[in-house]
Amino acid sequence: MFERKKFENHYEGAIEPFKIIGNTYFVGTFPASVHLINTGDGLVLIDTGYFDTLFMVIDSIYKLGFSPYDIKYIIHTHWHGDHTEATAALVHMTGAKTFIGKEDYEKVQRYFMPDVLLSEGDTVTLGNTTVEIMETPGHTKGTISLFYETEDNGKKYTVGMFGGAGANTLVKERFDYPDCRSGYLDSINRLRLKRVDVFIGNHVWNNDTENKGKCLLETGENKFIDPSLWGIFLNYCEKRLNDIIEKENG
């Protein structure tokens, strides 16, 4: 479930784009997840990925029958380059409005200048979709997580993403800010209170996006719909933090 591949070049990690559920699509690559929401009044992107894979994201958007020129909003989960490098070019191309957690404002300026800073409890609405924002610091100080409702075949589902699950910045030499470990654990505990029917990954290895997508395209079986996966992943995240601390303590 949590296997991570490594590629010599980011553009080698192509994934065929696909509809996950309702108005939610995957248009990213293995090295960098990018999700698209079709709100009926324009497109919302969640993250943009690396600059050198932008051409693949644009191609995927076209393959699904959409136009990148209809991107109105880009919501970023946190400031790291694998989620933000392509943003400036996309904004230049589309004029999209950009959003990021307020605590990541200074660091993200190395990649782009955000239009809107998000805080706990904020919502972002476009067309038929309202995205609820939860501040979930740890991976970075300004990491946000996202939740929204979608409808598929007459049934409503809650879609959720943990916006910064990575443990790499929880190692002492790579702290994003001093209290990141306690912030990460607190974020996990608050995220556990959310019911999520469809867990979408901030990276593909969070929820086995690639294989679930292949299964969906080939068989029609939607393995993304599983409320248990959210808790399983959060438990995994907590264990990784505990493993790091245990290793340091010898």
Chain mean pLDDT for the chain: 96
pLDDT for the residue numbered 137: 98
Task: Summarize pLDDT for 114-133 with one digit per residue, the tens.
Answer: 999 999 999 999 999 999 99
For 74, the enclosing helix (H) or strand (E) is strand 71-75
Give the pTM: 0.96
Task: Please give the Cα distance from 17 to 209 (Å, whole number).
Answer: 11
Residue whose entry in the numeric block shows the structure tokens 């990649």: 111
Task: Please give the Cα distance from 89 to 110 (Å, whole number).
Answer: 13
pLDDT for the residue numbered 2: 59
Mean pLDDT of 162-191: 96
Residue 147, classed as helix, strand or coil, is strand
pLDDT for the residue numbered 203: 95
Task: Please give the Cα distance from 204 to 101 (Å, whole number).
Answer: 22
Residues 6+ apart with CB under 8 A from 155: none
Percent of the chain past pLDDT 90, that is, above it, reads: 94
Choice between 1 and 68, residue whose per-residue pLDDT is larger: 68
Task: Please give the Cα distance from 120 to 155 (Å, whole number).
Answer: 28
The angle formed by the CA atoms of residues 221, 58 and 131, to the nearest 5 degrees, is 65
Task: Summarize pLDDT for 201-220 with one digit per residue, the tens.
Answer: 999 999 999 999 999 999 99
Percent of the chain past pLDDT 70, that is, above it, reads: 99
Residue 62, classed as helix, strand or coil, is helix
